Chain A
């Protein structure tokens, strides 16, 4: 792996995470669409609610690295594949809005309407993103500003095959996760229902993936050479193997293990594609040629490494809480009470500090033109707002909250 390829590897990690996590979020909406059962629909929302926003950020992560490290490739892809990417964007808006409004639904008819509208968008988004990937994989995106065909770049056999695989994989992953979440929360009926769905959709996904592979080999000559060459062939073998093993785990109701193995099956597809296409990013543009200058690549990699120091423990914390079922149980009041102290808040010193900050901040912001002195002034003003808000806000809450006009 060269320096120029490192950001691409980060992108593929992000893409796999998005496919495995975000894909399942879209898949959960599929089960809402097809479901007449209120419990199953609610379960899908509850299960995905705490994590969908985080899962979604992986897409932003992939895009940001792409335009930083491979700006011309990014611009070529987005200009030629404008239609499917716009469709995906609209789907993303609708899906996010569904989560936002779901909390307020009260009546059955409202829920059904919202579910129906947004579930369709949930199928559309992974399909559209899949067709875009298919366009890149089959070499239909030339370098340049909308140089490719706006329609055939994504309306073609490979694109539709990848789109179908993306939808099917998400649906399957969602069923596995939902079964696991239900089993953990002790909802055995739900777990059984989603186990059946996982087995059925797993079989369908396997068939779609194999059919997709066939379509791709017929349609995308160049990719075919790569896919069946060394070392991509390893991934091509690993993915169905992992997929079959997952089905067996689901059958035995080992949902947690299935969760990880299913992710490995999806990751193998992404890795296989990358290896098959290597070294080209777009036709006539190798990764080395597409990559930005060395300082940009180094800054990106270091930036991601530093970010990962914060991100990884945070992800572990969130998924740890979710997977240990901390968000499953019904709210309990007992540990929700602080040791009520009913103490008066110290206000005097804070108010003085705020006035001091203002006295320093005002002249030092107004008089100098730039420089460290003005920076001190601005910090003083911000400190005034912050400290003043705490001092005055807590006092106002205490006093303003008192009954005054009877």
Chain B
């Protein structure tokens, strides 16, 4: 009787799904393709507008040429971002109906509001790009501003949902159904939101900045060192170079919030098995299920980083049952990759800022330009590693502490077929994007003199 009542109460009771891992991989692939495009959605409009502002102030046509050429890239990447983002929302239902059926009403408002950001972004990016030479300079510049704002509000809405998944609140769960839903509290009354938002928003500027600068650093190495190229190099590089060191401070803040709200995730960052005061950090190495082997131990560093106190007690993985621990090595390697690359990027930034502030010129060593070329792809790796850190670190929960990922999954078959199809389609998409970017870059630069 009670089982029957429960079945009647919860039509989305967990199902048997053979391909949970493939479904997670499919979601991760879709995300990994989308998120670098998001960085361009966040930051690139600001770069373009900055160039246009320089043109409006100085009348120097080189700025206008850059802004106009970049805006074509912006539009192409936005188009791909639009469709890959849509796929993510489809997959929420296609792969995780258990999650959506149970919790869609709690966090759904975030996506409803995001749709409006998305509308504003799409509308004004079109007006901006198609409006070159067709609107007055001032109107054209103003048309770009909503794009930048919508890039921020869109990030805010989407990340409010992710923050809620990591630190859920604003509802009561009774017998597999949520009641007493408070959507605004769930999304925006969540103190897990702000560090995630700032961390991602800065990441957008770092990734877009280094990737864009990297293109012109590559050109510099091959002898393309004209004024156009140098201006196009320094502006995104300056933004990224200021954001990258700040990102380390924001990362420290994020780690402290994780230590407070998700101790098991923090323990997985390090592979800390037993709770201890004055916990160390191990560089590299491998977690064997009980301890980190072959790592370089830095004593007390984990306590210091997580609580700003070298003797603070840190909860180990042993505090949670074995079936509630995330896959430690994936999280650990991803975390160290992100932090390691973050430090390299900050170092490259420091060199650039130092040379600029001391000598008022660009560094001259080709090694600097090689480093900037490498910084672009490295920042993308760090971006994805960061998301792996937080999302794999959330496992085995889809809604932290409330719903396990296997309770969320679809009962439909054919996940491997869908996954394989998506791999093919995304391979084609990446090839197409690479092709169009090369094409746009090859078009001859024509600076119209006045």
Chain A interfacial positions (CB closer than 8 Å to B): 49-51, 53-54, 56-57, 59-61, 63-65, 67-69, 71-72, 74-80, 82-83, 85-86, 88-90, 92-97, 99-101, 103-104, 106, 143-147, 150, 292-293, 295-296, 299-300, 303-304, 307, 310-311, 314-315, 317-318, 321, 326-327, 329, 331-333, 335-343, 345, 362, 365-367, 369-370, 374-375, 378, 381-382, 384-385, 388-390, 392-394, 396-405
Contacts and interface: CB of A to CB of B under 8 A. Distances in A.
A375 B98 CA distance: 36
Contact of B101 (A83, A145, A150): A145
A61 B86 CA distance: 10
Contact of B94 (A85, A97, A365, A394): A85
A397 B76 CA distance: 25
Contacts of A318: 123, 126-127
A394 B237 CA distance: 12
Contacts, number: 365
Contacts of A49: 126, 130
Given A332-B133, A385-B242, A72 B12 contact: yes
Contacts of B155: none
* Secondary structure dominating the interface of A: helix
Contacts of B194: 375, 378
Nearest to A397: B231
Contacts of A65: 108, 112
Given A79-B411, A337-B450, A89 B90 contact: yes
B50 A393 contact: yes
Contacts of A397: 54, 63, 231, 234-235
24 contacts: A60-B111, A68-B112, A72-B12, A72-B101, A74-B93, A89-B86, A92-B86, A96-B83, A100-B432, A100-B433, A103-B440, A299-B184, A307-B116, A307-B119, A314-B123, A315-B119, A335-B137, A375-B194, A389-B239, A400-B230, A400-B233, A401-B231, A403-B227, A404-B361
Given A79-B97, A103-B436, A341-B57, A93 B115 contact: no
B63 A300 contact: no
B435 A67 contact: no
Given A100-B436, A400-B230, 10 more contacts: A63-B89, A64-B111, A78-B93, A78-B97, A86-B94, A103-B440, A314-B123, A329-B134, A385-B243, A396-B235
B314 to A, nearest CB: 15
B92 interface: yes
B344 to A, nearest CB: 19
Given A299-B183, A369-B256, A56 B82 contact: yes
B86 A82 contact: no
B435 A384 contact: no
A97 B312 CA distance: 51
A66 B264 CA distance: 34
Contact of A401 (B62, B76, B87, B135): B62
A229 B436 CA distance: 54
A69 B105 contact: yes
Given A68-B104, A103-B72, A327-B134, A145 B83 contact: no
Contacts of A378: 194, 198, 250, 253
B381 interface: no
A92 B81 CA distance: 12
Interface of B: 11-13, 15, 50, 54-60, 62-63, 72, 75-80, 82-87, 89-94, 97-98, 100-106, 108-109, 111-116, 118-120, 122-127, 130-138, 146, 179-184, 191, 194, 198, 201-202, 205, 225, 227, 230-231, 233-235, 237-239, 242-243, 246, 249-250, 252-253, 256-257, 260, 308, 353, 356, 360-362, 364, 410-414, 418, 421-422, 425-426, 428-429, 432-433, 435-436, 439-440, 448, 450
A79 B97 CA distance: 6
B105 A71 contact: yes
Nearest to B360: A399
A85 B91 CA distance: 10
Nearest to A328: B134
A11 to B, nearest CB: 11
Contacts of B127: 50, 317-318, 321
A336 B132 contact: yes
A91 to B, nearest CB: 10
